[in-house]
Structure 1
Amino acid sequence: MLEELEIRNLGPISQARIMPHPGMNAITGETGAGKSMLLNAIELISGAQAQSQRVSANSDQARVQAIFGVSGSDDIKELAQNAGAECVDDQLFINRTVPQKGRSRAVLNGQTVPRTVLTSIASKLVTIHGQSEQLKIANISRQRDFLDDFAANDTQRDTYRKAFENYSTLKEKIDQLKSTQSQAIAQIDYLKDAISRIEAIHPHEGEDDELKSQRDYIENATEIAIAQAAALRALDTSENDNDEASVSELLTRAIHELHAVSHIEQMSEIMSRLETLRDEVQDIVYMLSQSSNEDVNPNDLDKINERIHDLSELTKRWGPTLKDVLEWKEKAQFELEDLDASPERIHELEVELTQAMEIVRKAAKELTRTRVVAAEELSANVNKELKSLAMEGSALYVSVSESSELDVHGADDIVFEFVPFPGAPRLSLGKSASGGELSRLMLALELVAFEKKRVRIDQMELSEQRGNVPTLIFDEIDAGVGGATAVELGKRLARLAAGAQIIVVTHLPQVAAWADEQFVVSKTKSASQATTTVTEVNGEARVAEIARMLSGSQSKTSLQHAQELLDECTLKMPELA
C-alpha cells in the first residue's frame, strides 16, 4: 500500500507531498492542472523509462520518493532483500531521480538498484489502469495470469508444472544421448578405464603420507639406531661401565631430599613436577631400550617406492590428494550411470518419457478444466458489471482453447476478446476499446476478481488487511460517463476499495464524492511561470471542490448540492446491484 508520495521538480510540480488513504483516493482538478504528473511520478517509481524533458525548466533534476507499507508481503520483502535492500519496520522506500542530462538513478531502501528491480517489485505493489499501462492486459501471459488468479488453481498449476518439468528433463536427456552418442561412448570408455585403474591400486586416504614416513625411517635406519643407543647411554648409566647414577636415580634423590619439606606448598609443587619428570624420563628410557632395527628390511624399500609411485600417478591425474582421487572416482561412477548411451538405456528412458507424458496430459486436462470454469464465470460476471458502467451491449469473452503444443504453462490458448457494441466483431483487448472503455473494463475485471476472493476467504477487518493490499490506479475511467452511471462507477470503486487501495483521477463529482480522501491539483500562474500544487481537501474545502466539479462555480445552490452528494455517499455503504 502506498503510504506517501513526494514529488520535486517534475513538470509544473515544484514540490508536492500526498499521503493516500488506505481506501479510495480521488485526484481532481481543472483540465490541464497537471494531474497527469502524479501518474508520471508513480510510473517513475514503478520503473518506467525516465524522460528528461519532464524535469522542471529551472531545475537540475526531478525527484520522486514513495513509501510503501509491506507488512504481510513476504514476496516483496524477499525481492528487496535479494537486491541488497532489506526492508525495515515493514516499509519500502523507493527513490527515483531524473537529471536534465545523464542517466536516472533508482534507490531502494537506500541501496542503488537497476531500474529492472523497481519494475519487478512495483509490479507486485502498484497496478496502473491508464491509457498506456492498461494496454498490458492485451499481453497473452497477463491474461493467462489474471484468469489463473481468478480460478485460484495454484494446486493444479503446481502439479502440472512439476510434471512438465520432469517430462522436459527426460526428453532433454534422451535427445542429448542420441545427439552425442559417440562422445558419450568415448567418455564412458575413459571413465571405466579410470575407475578400473583406481580400483586396481585400491588406495586409502592418507596412504601416501604413511608410506613416505616408512620410507624415511628405513632410509635412515642406521643413523636412527646410533642416535637411539647414544641417547640411552646418556639417560641410563646401567648401559655404561662406570658407577655413575642415572638421570632417573638423580631425580629420585632430589624428590627424597624435598620430602621433609613437602608440607610447604611451594616445595610440594616442585616435588610433583620432579615426579612427573622422572616418570617421563623412565618412559623414554623404556622406549629407547625397546626400539630395534631388527624389523627393518631394506628390501621393503623397493616395494614402498613402487607403491608411492603408483599413488603419485593417481594424484597427478585426479588429485591433488588421495581424498580427491577417491571423491572423483565416486562422482565418475554416478556419471557413468547417466552416460549409459546404449540402445537399451535409451529405450528405458523413452518408456519413462511416454509415462511422463501421460502424467503431463492428465495434469493439463485438470488445469484446463479449472480455466474453462473460471473463464465462463469471469465473462458472465464482468458483463453484468459492464451494464452498470454505461457499457450496455458491450461484452467480454474469455476463451480457453487447446494449444498446438504443450509448454510450461499448460495446454491452453487463453484469449480475452472485447465487443464494444452489439454486432461488432470480437477483437483482442487494446484494439477494440477506447481508453475510457478499457479503464471501465479493467475496473469490472478487478471488482469481479475481488468479489471472487471474498467468497474464498473469510473477510477480515479492513485494518487487518491494509498491510498487504494492492494499490490500483485508474485514469480516464470516467470518459464519456455521467449521471446515474457516474454514481454506479463511484460506488463500484468504493466497493473495490474494501480490498485494495484505490487512486482514481476523475472529473466526475459523483465519483470523487465516494472517496475517503480527495486531493486537488491546481495551477497558479505568475509572471515568470506556472506552478502546480497538490492539496488534500477536507470539510468546507472539499465541499467547495465538489461544487466546482458539479457546476463550475461555488454558488449557494452548488455548495448545497455538493454537501448533499457527500452526505449521501458517506451514509451509503456501496452495495453492488
Structure 2
Amino acid sequence: MLVSLSIRDFVLIEKLDLGFARAGQGGLGALTGETGAGKSILIDALGLALGARADSSAVRRGTAQASVAASFDLSKGHPAHAILAEQGLGDEDILTLRRMVGADGRGRAFVNDQPASVALLRRLGDTLVEIQGQMEQHGLLDVVTHRASLDAFAGLEKQAEAVRAAWRTWRAAEQARADAEAAAEAARRDEDFLRHAVKELETLAPKADDEETLASERQLLRAGSALGEAVAQALAELEQGRGTIASLSTAHRLIERNVDKAAGHLDAPLAALDRALSEATEAQAQLEAARDALEFDPARLEKIEERLFGLRAVARKHNVAVPELAALAGKMASQLAALDSGEASLKKLAAAAKAARGAYVAAAEMLAAARRKGASRLDKAVAGELGPLKLEKAKFVTELAPLPEAEWSEAGTDRVQFTVATNPGTPPAPIARIASGGELSRFLLALKVCLAKVGDAATIVFDEVDSGIGGATAAAVGERLKRLARDVQVLVVTHSPQVAAIADRHWLIQKTTTRNSASTDVLALDSKGRREEIARMLSGAEVTAEARAAADRLLATAG
C-alpha cells in the first residue's frame, strides 16, 4: 500500500511530503478542498510516479525540473517482488518509485534509487495502485482484466491453472508435430542426396580416431625404407666378425670358470658381463622385430593414403572435421530411417496433438461453464450495490462469448466483458462507454466492492466518485468506500461531507494565489481541522454554528 508521497515543483506544488499509512495499515483516506484547489494535481503526481505520460508542462513555472517519489509497503507475496527479481533490482520491504521531468521535457525514472525505465515503473505501478477516475481507461475499465477478475471472484484459480497447463501441453504437442513434419519434408527434399551420403559413409565406415591412426601409420610407412636400412646396419654392427654377442658369451664363460679362484675380484666384472650379454641379446631381438615391422610395403602405404584422403574429402564435402564423420553417419542414418518410417511417427505425433487439443477443449469448456455460474453470482452481487448508489435503473451484465479458435489462449476459449445498461430497454454496452463520469465512478465502486479481494493492487484511488450526488446516496458511497477499505487502502478525492466524515484520515488541499503566483499545499487534518473542513463543505464559504453542529453529527455518526 501507499506509505508516502513526496512532490517537488510539480505544477502548482512547490514542496510536499505526505504520509498516508504506516506499514501494514490501510483504511479510508479522504482528500478534500475547494473547487480548483488542485486535488487532481495530487492524483496526477501519483500517476507520474506510477509511469504515466508526462511533459514539460508538469514542471512548476520557473524551476528546472519536477520530481515525484511514491513509497509502498510490499506484502510478502506481492507480484512486484517477482518483477524486481526479474530486473535484478534490490528487493526491499519498502519499494520507492521516483520520476523526474525536466523543463526541457526529458525525464528519468528510478526504482529504489536505481535507474529504471518508465515502462518498468508502469509495470510495477499496475500491481500497486488502481486509479479509478472519471473516464480513465485502465483497471476495471480495461477489458483485458475482466476474465481474471471474474475467475478470482468465482474462485476458479485452480480450474484456470488446469486450462493453462492443458494449453501448454497442447502447444508443445503441436510444436513437436510441426517440427517432425518440417524435418520429414526437408528429408524428402534431400532424399537422393541423403541416401547417397549414407551409402558413401557406410562404405567408409569412419571411426572417431581414424584420421589420427591412419596419419601416424602413413608417416611410419613413408619413412620405412630409411628406417629399415638403419636397423640393418645396426644389426650388422652387432654381428660383424665373430659378433658382439658371441664375444660377450665367450668372455662371460671364461670369467665364470675362474670366479671362484679370484677371491671376489671377478664378481663385479662377471655381473657386468652378465648384464651386457642380456641387454645385447634383447637389443638384437628388438632390432630384428623392428626390421620385420618396418619392411617397406608400397601397397600398404597406397591403401592407407587412399582411405585417409577419402575420409578427408568426404569431411570437406559435409563441412565437418574427419573425427565428426562417424557421428554424421549415425545422424544421417537416423534421418533416413525416420524418412522410411516417418509416416507412422507423424501419425503418432498428430494423434498426440489431437488428444492434447481435446484435453484443452474439455478443460476450457468446464472453465467456461464455471465462469457462467460465477458471472451470474457477480451480476447479482453488483445489482445489490447499485440501488443505494442511485443507479437503480442500471443493469450490470457480465457477458461471456466463445472465441474463434485462432483467438484461443491459455486463458481459455471464451471472452469475458463487463457491460452496463444505464436505462431500461437499452442494450448493455462496455462499462467504459458510460457517458457520465460520476455514474462511471459509482459503477466502478459497486464493482470494486464486489471484487474487494481480487487483484494485486493494495491501494485504490477514487477521483470524485461522489460527483453530482448528495444525501443518502453520498452516505451509501461512503459506506461502500469504508467497506472496501477493510481489505485494501482506499483514497478518495471527494466533495461530499458524508464521505469525508466516514474517512479514517483526512487531508485538506488548499490553493494560495498571489499577484504573481499560485501554489497548492496539502494539510493533514486533526479532529478540529476535520470539523471545520466538513462544516465548510456543508455550508460553503461562510462556516456557521449550524454547519459545525451538522459536522459534529456527521462525525459522530461515522464514528
TM-score, normalised on structure 1? 0.76
Shift of 1:431: 2.1
Q: Which residue of 2 aligns with 1:403?
A: 403
Query: Contact 1:513–1:565 (CA<8 Å) still a contact in 2?
Result: yes
Secondary structure of 1:477 counterpart: coil
> Shift of residue 298 of structure 1?
4.3
Matching of residues 44-443 of structure 1 within 5 Å: 44-73=48-77, 75-84=79-88, 86-134=89-137, 137-168=140-171, 183-191=186-194, 193-194=196-197, 197-220=200-223, 293=290, 294-296=292-294, 298-299=296-297, 300-313=300-313, 315-317=315-317, 320-321=320-321, 325=325, 347-405=347-405, 407-408=408-409, 409-443=411-445
> Residue deviations 1:331-385, cap 9 Å, x none?
6677778878966655555544443333232112111112101100110001101
Aligned equivalents of 1:224, 1:497: Cα separation in 2: 99
Q: CA deviation at 1:469?
A: 5.7
Contact in 2 for aligned 1:16/1:534 (Cα 8 Å)? yes
Superposed CA deviations along residues 368-417 of structure 1, whole A, max 9, x for unmatched, are 11210110011000110112222222220112233344611322232322
Distance 1:74 1:413, change over 3 A: closer
* Cα distance change on mapping 1:319 and 1:434 into 2, 3 Å: same
Matched residues, number:
509
* Cα distance in structure 1, aligned partners of 2:284 and 2:532: 110
Letter of the aligned partner of 1:365 in structure 2?
A: E
Structure 1 residues without counterparts, runs of 5 or longer:
243-282, 454-467, 571-577
Partner-residue secondary structure (3-state), 1:450: coil
Instruction: Return the alpha-carbon distance in structure 2 between the equivalents of residues 323 and 480 of structure 1.
Output: 84
Shift of residue 224, structure 1, vs aligned partner: 7.5
Return closer, same or farther for 1:99/1:452 CA change in 2, 3 Å cut-off. Answer: closer
Q: Secondary structure at the match of 2:98?
A: strand
Q: CA deviation at 1:143?
A: 2.0
Q: 1:515 aligns with which of 503, 509, 517?
A: 503
C-alpha contact 2:98 2:110 (8 A) present in aligned 1? yes
1:499 aligned partner:
487
Q: CA deviation at 1:313?
A: 3.7
1:42 corresponds to: 46
- Are 2:438 and 2:468, in contact at CA under 8 Å, matched by a contact in 1? yes
Say whether the 8 Å CA contact 2:80–2:127 is kept in structure 1. Answer: yes
* Alpha-carbon distance change, 399 to 548 in structure 1, aligned in 2, over 3 angstroms: same
CA distance in 1, matches of 2:420, 2:283: 99
Per the alignment, residue 554 of structure 2 pairs with: 565
Change (3 A) 1:207 1:6: farther
**Higher mean C-alpha displacement, 472-481 vs 539-548:** 539-548
Whole-angstrom distance in 2 between the partners of 1:60 and 1:185: 69
AA of the residue aligned to 2:517: Q
Match of 2:522 in 1: 534
**d(CA) in 2 for partners of 1:434 and 1:185?**
65
Q: Aligned-pair distance for 1:139? A: 4.0
CA distance in 1: counterparts of 2:408 and 2:345, whole angstroms: 26
Q: In the aligned structure 2, how far is the partner of 1:339 from the partner of 1:444?
A: 63
Aligned to 2:36: 32
Query: What is the CA distance between 1:27 and its match in structure 2?
Result: 1.6
**Secondary structure of the structure 2 residue equivalent to 1:544:** helix
Deviates more, 1:26-35 or 1:415-424: 415-424
The partner residue of 2:539 within 536, 541, 551 is: 551
Aligned to 1:478: 466
- CA, structure 1 residues 327+516, in 2 after alignment: closer, same or farther (shift >3 Å)? farther
Amino acid paired to 1:37: I
Paired residue for 1:260? none
Contact 2:512 2:520 in 1 (8 A): yes
TM-superposition CA deviations, 1:85-142 (whole Å, max 9, x none): x133233232222222243322233443333222222211221111232466454322
The CA distance in 2 between the partners of 1:214 and 1:352, in whole Å, is: 53
Q: Match of 2:498, SS?
A: helix
Q: Counterpart in 2 of 1:255?
A: none
| Partners of 2:14 and 2:519 within 8 A in 1 | yes
Identify the residue that residue 274 of structure 1 maps to in structure 2. none
Q: Could you tell me how far apart the structure 2 residues matched to 1:341 and 1:519 are?
A: 77
CA distance in 2, matches of 1:337, 1:499: 64
Conserved? CA contact 2:95–2:112, under 8 Å: yes
Cα pair distance change 1:91/1:135, threshold 3 Å:
closer
SS in 2 for 1:133: coil
What are the Cα deviations for residues 282-311 of structure 1, in whole angstroms up to 9, with x where unaligned? x9xx99996863434544444443443344
- Is the 8 Å Cα contact of residues 81 and 91 (structure 2) preserved in structure 1? no
CA pair 290-167 structure 1, distance change in 2 beyond 3 A? same
Equivalent position of 2:270 in the other structure: none
- Matched position secondary structure for 1:131: coil
Instruction: Find the aligned partners of 1:336 and 1:13 in 2 and give their Cα distance.
Output: 76
CA offsets 1:445-495 (integer angstroms, 9 cap, x no match): 222122689xxxxxxxxxxxxxx7622111121112222222222222122
Corresponding residue SS for 2:403:
strand
2:135 and 2:432 in contact (8 A); partners too: no
Whole-Å Cα distance in 2 between the matches of residues 555 and 166 of structure 1?
Answer: 71
Tell me the amino acid that sits aligned with residue 356 of structure 1: A
1:254 corresponds in structure 2 to none
Residue type matched to 1:446 in 2? K
SS at match of 2:502: coil
Secondary structure of 1:8 counterpart? strand
8 Å contact kept, 1:83–1:113: no
The amino acid across from 2:134 in the alignment is: Q
What is the CA-CA distance between 1:12 and the residue it aligns to? 0.7
* Deviations 1:17-57, CA, capped at 9 Å, x for gaps: 22222312222211111111122122222222223222212
Q: How has the CA–CA distance of structure 1 residues 290 and 79 changed in structure 2, closer, same or farther, with 3 Å as cutoff?
A: farther
The answer (yes or no) to whether the contact 2:98–2:111 under 8 Å persists in 1 is yes
Checking the alignment, whether the CA contact within 8 Å between 1:4 and 1:66 is kept in structure 2 is yes
Give the distance between the partners of 2:450 and 2:365, measured in 1 at CA.
25
